[in-house]
Amino acid sequence: MASDLPVGGFPLHVVRTEQSIMHTRTELLSLDMPLLPMAENGQQFFLTAASLQMQAFKATMRYNVEALAFLKHRCEQHAKLADDLITGTQFNDTFAAFLQNATSQYVTEAGKVATLTSRLASETARHMRKGARIAIENAAAKTVA
């Protein structure tokens, strides 16, 4: 049994496949059919909850991409430090420059993470407000009708 989860305002569809010896029958069930107002609100709640999980997943992946890119760069800098320490004659100057650059880069990365966190929180809040507004408008329309 497979299902298509909505992204945005797309309806939820469930595909059911039944197999027998002679043939395969696939049936598409849609939740677009008229439902009781409570059921429609419940459906909207679950769609919004699934959307929130999608937003959280996307945020986690963005953090991972940013963190891995930063760690890759820092590992390259550590390897360069080892090479510079082996081949260089000025240990203190090489190590001091490394520490200065590392500190600067960690501060810059912390700023990037703070900016990313703010942007993701804003996107999630906007998405949740939209879902709540749609649910309220649908409930109000069903109440009036």
Q: Where are the chain's structural domains?
A: 1-33, 34-144
CA-to-CA separations, 86 to 72, 83, 94, in angstroms, rounded: 22, 5, 10
Tens of pLDDT along the chain (145 residues) come to: 444 444 455 444 444 455 555 555 544 444 555 555 556 667 777 777 788 888 889 888 988 999 999 999 999 999 988 888 888 778 888 888 888 999 999 999 999 989 988 888 888 888 888 877 887 887 777 777 6
3-state secondary structure of 46: helix
Query: Coil, helix or strand for 140?
Result: helix
pLDDT at 28: 42
User: Tokens 């009708």 — which residue?
Assistant: 145
Residue with token string 């049936």: 27
Q: Which helix (H) or strand (E) holds 121?
A: helix 91-144
Q: pLDDT value at position 33?
A: 54
C-beta separation of 127 from 55 below 8 A: yes
pLDDT at 7: 46
